[in-house]
Amino acid sequence: MENKKFNAFEMAQAQFDNVAEILNLDAATRDLLRFPLREYNFAIPVHMDDGTIKIFRGFRVQHNDARGPGKGGIRFHPQETIDTVRALATWMTWKCSVVDIPLGGSKGGVICDPHNLSMREQEQICRGWVRVIAKDIGPLRDVPAPDVMTNGQHMLWMLDEYEVITGQKYPGLITGKPVGMGGSLGRTEATGYGVIFTVREALKELGLKPENTTASVQGFGNVAQYAIQLYNQLGGKVICVSCWDQQDQISYTFKKSDGIDLDKLLSITDRFGGINKDKAKELGYEILPGDAWIDQKVDILLPCAIENQITGENASRIDEKVKLIAEGANGPTTPEADKIIQEKGIFMVPDFLANAGGVTCSYFEQVQCNMNYFWERDEVLGKLDVKMTSAFLAVSELARKRKLYMRDAAYVIAISRVAQACKDRGWV
């Protein structure tokens, strides 16, 4: 989203303005929700391994916490900007609201590139980030999590620093911790499974049985792999996956018309979700250009890679057989492409609903930490199914009743809940 061509925060505000019109929100509510409640923009001095001192810039943006403590990841990225963090914090507010979990929206970041930092230097950044912000985050205030280029280890350093400062144990401060250190079972598969819980419900609405459907998937990382696993379990057949080739610096589509074999494909995939092209050829896969995943004769498209992939140029190539798109990735569809998809009458499950399984499971992690009692995997995934299904049904019912596009219906529900919470608190 840190694309120079457009400003992510302006885009988030434009989306909000559109729904504010549909909801006929008053001027004060619009003014409140168009901007974050609080922003922190600070310096983190780090003693580098070579003896120099380097100053890193850190951010935390708390967009809205009317419905509960803020929730959102911390990104380590060399091109991080305050506007990207503002946009992502805003989208977190809508995502938590649409799945009806009692949390608000936040996001954080540090301008840095972990590829060029030692583990010790990264630890200093994590501890420094917490030292500055400790009094403004907390299990009942704002709960961080891993995101782009941060992981469970970074979260544990942050948690440890917080507990040193406060002198108490606060496992619910932060989510995305490793299992056994306060992490939740089921978190790894939560986002991909959540996508398929919504696909299963959408297929019911479309009168299709999963076992009679086929899908084409962009991406073969965490979200895509678990989405494919559950879709296969429901009887669906994936005929294409597309992923990025690190060596060739280009993406490819891997096709098998009678269905991919997930386990075999996983055995030739690296930890970044890149499939080995030569080994795939040996296994009988057809290797096609990277964007070939989009024009396949399938029932379902699952964009699960990165943003801005379905565009004004390629959306018209979507086959007329396609009935459903579920956005596993954040922001895979540009506004121009969205219009084309709407005109084609394709059923759309928008990103902040389809991929909300991750944050919902993070919420479960926090709940388990706060009561210091951990659920079995099946219990976590069962609760996730209930949450995702009821969120989907609420959105699709509104879309049907008010003849709204699914993305607009999801925004209407999410934004009206937050607006109501602000009103109930007497803020506006």
Catalytic residues: 107
Query: Minimum distance from CB of 160 to ligand NAD (Å)?
Result: 23
- Choose which of 290, 341, 399, 417 interacts with ligand NAD (CB under 6 A): 290
Should residue 74 be labelled a site residue for ligand NAD when binding is judged by CB under 6 A? no
> Which residue, 70 or 290, has its beta carbon nearer to ligand NAD?
290
Query: Minimum distance from CB of 191 to ligand NAD (Å)?
Result: 4
Calpha distance 366→104 (Å, rounded): 14
- Choose which of 193, 220, 352, 411 interacts with ligand NAD (CB under 6 A): 220
> Which residue, 163 or 385, has its beta carbon nearer to ligand NAD?
385
> Which residues make Cβ contacts (< 8 Å) with residue 207, sequence separation at least 6?
none
For 6, the 3-state DSSP assignment is: coil
Pick from 131, 116, 128, 111: nearest CA to 44: 128
Pick from 119, 113, 92: nearest CA to 104: 92
> Which residue, 128 or 183, has its beta carbon nearer to ligand NAD?
183
Should residue 328 be labelled a site residue for ligand NAD when binding is judged by CB under 6 A? yes
**How is residue 308 written in tokens?**
């801005």
**Contact string (CB under 6 A) for ligand NAD, positions 185-204, x = contact:** ------x-------------
Chain position carrying tokens 């049985």: 209
> Given the rule CB under 6 A, which of 81-89, 300-308, 390-398, 414-422 is the region that contacts ligand NAD?
300-308
Count of residues that bind ligand NAD according to CB under 6 A: 23
| Residue whose beta carbon is closest to ligand NAD | 221
Calpha distance 388→405 (Å, rounded): 19
> Given the rule CB under 6 A, which of 8-16, 79-87, 177-185, 221-229 is the region that contacts ligand NAD?
221-229
> Which residue, 5 or 135, has its beta carbon nearer to ligand NAD?
5
Chain position carrying tokens 């901007």: 35
> Which residue, 25 or 363, has its beta carbon nearer to ligand NAD?
363
- Choose which of 223, 260, 391, 421 interacts with ligand NAD (CB under 6 A): 223
Query: Minimum distance from CB of 274 to ligand NAD (Å)?
Result: 5
- Choose which of 177, 350, 358, 412 interacts with ligand NAD (CB under 6 A): 358
Should residue 242 be labelled a site residue for ligand NAD when binding is judged by CB under 6 A? yes
Q: What is the DSSP string of 199-262?
A: HHHHHHHHT--GGG-EEEEE--SHHHHHHHHHHHHTT-EEEEEEEEETTTTEEEEEE-TT---H
Query: Minimum distance from CB of 328 to ligand NAD (Å)?
Result: 5
Calpha distance 192→38 (Å, rounded): 32
Query: Minimum distance from CB of 301 to ligand NAD (Å)?
Result: 13
Taking the alpha carbons at both ends of the chain, their separation in whole angstroms is 31
> Given the rule CB under 6 A, which of 111-119, 178-186, 212-220, 400-408 is the region that contacts ligand NAD?
212-220
For ligand NAD, the binding residues in 304-323 under the rule CB under 6 A are: 304-306
Chain position carrying tokens 């967009």: 63
Chain position carrying tokens 């391994």: 49
> Which residue, 128 or 219, has its beta carbon nearer to ligand NAD?
219
Calpha distance 220→418 (Å, rounded): 34
Pick from 395, 407, 428, 402: nearest CA to 19: 407
Query: Minimum distance from CB of 271 to ligand NAD (Å)?
Result: 8
Strands laid side by side in the 286-289 sheet: 286-289, 250-255, 237-245, 214-218, 300-303, 324-326, 347-349
> Which residue, 30 or 107, has its beta carbon nearer to ligand NAD?
107
Should residue 222 be labelled a site residue for ligand NAD when binding is judged by CB under 6 A? yes
> Given the rule CB under 6 A, which of 1-9, 99-107, 218-226, 417-425 is the region that contacts ligand NAD?
218-226
Query: Minimum distance from CB of 148 to ligand NAD (Å)?
Result: 7
> Which residues make Cβ contacts (< 8 Å) with residue 88, sequence separation at least 6?
1, 8, 61, 72, 73, 75, 107
Phi, psi of 250 (to 5 degrees): -155, 160
Pick from 320, 331, 305: nearest CA to 219: 305
**How is residue 421 written in tokens?**
């919470």
For ligand NAD, the binding residues in 243-282 under the rule CB under 6 A are: 243-244, 251, 273-274
Calpha distance 335→348 (Å, rounded): 13
Query: Minimum distance from CB of 219 to ligand NAD (Å)?
Result: 4
| Residues near ligand NAD, by CB under 6 A | 191, 218-224, 242-244, 251, 273-274, 290, 304-306, 328-330, 355, 358
